[in-house]
Structure 1
Amino acid sequence: MNTIKHKLLLIDDQPANLIALKSILEKHDREIITCNSGNEGLQILLKEKISLILVDVQMPEMDGYEFVEITKQHPTTANIPTIFVTAISDEAKYINKAYDLGAIDFLFKPLVTEITRKKVESFLKIWDYDQELQKLNEKLVAKNGELEQFANIIAHDLKTPLNNIKSLVEFIEEEHLLDLKEEATELFDMVKSSAMSMSKLIDDLLFYSKNVENNEGKEAISILNEVNAVIKLLNPNNNIRIAKENLNHKINFQSVAFKQIIQNLLSNAIKYNDKAITEITISYNEELKQIAIRDNGPGIPEGQAEKIFQMFYTLGKSSRGDSGTGIGLNLVRKLADRNEVKVYYNSQFKDGSEFVISELQTA
């Protein structure tokens, strides 16, 4: 039993032409449907899933140009590849008109059998690729829907304890305001500020996952302001010194994505540092259009400079005893790709670690 892979629609007002063309294109996995007018062809398109249309240009009532113009206006038929079969001169004005309407190629009469077969075969392959891409896109849309739902759940689960923390702190302050010393009051303010910052970050990430695709959402951002916001969120202690050099510049970047990149790189520089005093420098090079984040830690073992960007790849426990999830640097790489920049580890830097964000676009 033969399985039909493609359906071809041939339209010509001359029955003899249809017989000749059909005989050239017949194959065991094709169903070839013929008709004698554009109107009849439109009716067939309403009922059948067609892979390729071959239409004669010169026909009474509705010519090939008019037929193609109608099909390209309807979403269910707009992407069906269409070839004009014509005896009209191959002058540029006729060809340009056809391409403007959306036809993909011409076959000139009298037809050359081998050329006709090869062209049809090529465009059917294109059709197959397009169908595969549509299926993949449908799967991606479904997956994105699942991820969005998952993000909502995670955001809710994270914000609930944060809201509880804020409420408890406010309750303690109200009930014991007179008993609190100045130092304790400052600590409570830090807890509230951190909880509010984390809540805002969750909201931003949720908005980002829902609304930002590819490289959309770029804006002119201040490197210095974004870095300062991240440092405030991290709230480093006195053993961590972060120097900022030449950051008072603007670049085009998704704000939330940039903060996430900087936060991950700074967090790693702090987490994996093995010195009594952690020293980190963030600098911007105008000429090279790149940001470098350097630290005085142990560096990355030779041969692992690229592996660290793989999902779930970790270097084991940090010098402080905790271990990473292997997600942070993979996220950094994806966010960089989304903003059309590069992030890499500079293996030539020998006094610690250096991560570079390059190919930045100035604003």
Structure 2
Amino acid sequence: MINLSEVHNILDYLDEIVFLLENVTVIYANKKAKEYFGDCEGYNIFDLLVFEKGSLLVEAMHTEKSVSSVNDDAIITFEDRIFSNRRGGWLYFKISYIKKNSLLILRDISEERNLQEVKLNISSLIAHELKNPIGVLLSHISELLEDEDDEENIKQFLKIEKQALRLNRIVEQIEYITMAQLGLYTPKNVSINIRKMVDSVLDDIAGLIELRRAKVEKHINIDYLDADDFILRTILKNLLSNAVKYSFDNSKVILKITSEYISVRDFGVGIPDEEIPKIFNRFYRTSTGVKMASGSGLGLAVVKHLANIANYKIEVKSQHMIGTEFIVYFRKE
């Protein structure tokens, strides 16, 4: 039978900070706790720890309802910043309070949070720095079009405007995808002109379609759909570009859109059965896909992530060397 001393020795090996409380007084703190906050035992937990939002712990200790989540064992979890003199400032922690045992467990997530902020700041900076010159470019093109009478020049200006608008969409997608990956994107449903969106997406991947000499058959039986423009466009673009990319030359891709789902079917290399469960993993590329075309292995991971945000369901049907169909249902069953 393990005695209390042995339990304490085990807790000293944990990477998490552990406090055992009696009411609000610390009666035990493991080694990691002392590394962050010095001597702990005998102190009031609210005197020992300087919380950014101390009310979260108070609420956790005095209510049956969690500020974040409660499981069957009454483990209450939330996040807060706590000041640590020994670590030189404010740190982010994931905090768990086990009511039954008066146990407070802190996991330092500062590195994860700081990395997220850096990623967001870099992407936002890139987007911001590109948006301004693109906006200026579009403004100048508009002025040139107003003053131009020569038909050939007008055609050239329209081509430039078209590519500038395409670049602007890409910049916006970088910004939105970063926000989505960091859990900061909230879907905003609007009425979308489906045929116009499809034509826009196909225009974006026109170079790829031309390279494969592919034909995209469109079967669209709705004119408008209520959805988030960024999420729907990104899912549609990734699925269509993948379908064309992994098709054989002179093949076709069939796109179907109804009020209930999007279906993208190709007649390309397909996916081996044993690899289908892995295709939505970040950076994963199938054995046949690697040989067929270049890529990052992020496209389907982004599709899956955005589908989860929008509460969509994805179904995959594939036969190796025959073809693949992705079906995105707009509502999970």
Q: Of residues 153, 159, 170 in structure 2, which corresponds to 1:190?
A: 159
Judged with a 3 Å threshold, the aligned counterparts in structure 2 of structure 1 residues 293 and 153 are, in CA distance, closer, same or farther, namely same
Task: Say whether the 8 Å CA contact 1:336–1:342 is kept in structure 2.
Answer: yes
User: In the alignment, is residue 256 of structure 1 matched against residue 233 of structure 2?
Assistant: no
Question: Which amino acid in the other structure matches residue 122 of structure 1?
Answer: N
1:45-82 Cα distance to aligned partner (Å, 9 max, x none): 6523499xxxxxxxxxxxxxxxxxxxxxx931442443
Please identify, of 1-10 and 244-253, the stretch whose mean Cα deviation from structure 2 is larger. Answer: 1-10
Judged with a 3 Å threshold, the aligned counterparts in structure 2 of structure 1 residues 312 and 249 are, in CA distance, closer, same or farther, namely same
Gapped runs of 5+ residues in structure 2? 31-39, 71-97
User: In the alignment, is residue 316 of structure 1 matched against residue 294 of structure 2?
Assistant: no
Task: Say whether the 8 Å CA contact 1:251–1:360 is kept in structure 2.
Answer: no
Distance 2:185 2:128 in 1: 27
1:283 counterpart SS class: strand
Computing the radius of gyration from Cα coordinates, the structure with the larger value is: 1
2:231 counterpart SS class: helix
User: In the alignment, is residue 300 of structure 1 matched against residue 271 of structure 2?
Assistant: yes
User: In the alignment, is residue 336 of structure 1 matched against residue 311 of structure 2?
Assistant: no
Gapped runs of 5+ residues in structure 1? 12-21, 34-43, 52-73, 84-97, 105-118
Distance 1:165 1:260 in 2: 25
Judged with a 3 Å threshold, the aligned counterparts in structure 2 of structure 1 residues 305 and 185 are, in CA distance, closer, same or farther, namely farther
Distance 2:308 2:29 in 1: 45
Q: Number of paired residues?
A: 273
Judged with a 3 Å threshold, the aligned counterparts in structure 2 of structure 1 residues 360 and 121 are, in CA distance, closer, same or farther, namely closer
TM-score, length-scaled by structure 1: 0.57
Question: Which amino acid in the other structure matches residue 242 of structure 1?
Answer: V
Give the drift of 1:269: 1.7
Q: Of residues 168, 171, 174 in structure 2, which corresponds to 1:199?
A: 168
Give the drift of 1:146: 0.7
Give the drift of 1:291: 1.4
User: In the alignment, is residue 216 of structure 1 matched against residue 186 of structure 2?
Assistant: yes
Task: Say whether the 8 Å CA contact 1:317–1:324 is kept in structure 2.
Answer: no
2:290 counterpart SS class: coil
Where in structure 2 are the equivalents of 1:129-278 lying within 5 Å?
Answer: 131-132=106-107, 135-136=108-109, 138-155=110-127, 182=152, 186=155, 189-207=158-176, 209-210=178-179, 213=183, 216-222=186-192, 223-235=194-206, 239-248=213-222, 251=225, 253-276=227-250, 278=251
Distance 2:29 2:136 in 1: 69
Task: Say whether the 8 Å CA contact 2:271–2:319 is kept in structure 1.
Answer: no
2:248 counterpart SS class: coil
Judged with a 3 Å threshold, the aligned counterparts in structure 2 of structure 1 residues 264 and 99 are, in CA distance, closer, same or farther, namely closer
Distance 1:76 1:163 in 2: 45
Question: Which amino acid in the other structure matches residue 145 of structure 1?
Answer: E
Q: Find the counterpart in structure 2 of residue 62 from structure 1.
A: none
Give the drift of 1:262: 0.9
Distance 2:132 2:276 in 1: 38
Task: Say whether the 8 Å CA contact 2:61–2:99 is kept in structure 1.
Answer: no
Task: Say whether the 8 Å CA contact 1:260–1:332 is kept in structure 2.
Answer: yes
CA RMSD of aligned residues (A): 4.8
Distance 1:45 1:302 in 2: 54
1:347 counterpart SS class: strand
Give the drift of 1:294: 1.0
What is the aligned-residue identity percentage?
21
TM-score, length-scaled by structure 2: 0.61
Judged with a 3 Å threshold, the aligned counterparts in structure 2 of structure 1 residues 305 and 187 are, in CA distance, closer, same or farther, namely farther
1:182-204 Cα distance to aligned partner (Å, 9 max, x none): 4x864663343123222233134
Task: Say whether the 8 Å CA contact 1:219–1:252 is kept in structure 2.
Answer: yes
Distance 2:114 2:202 in 1: 37
Distance 1:225 1:203 in 2: 18
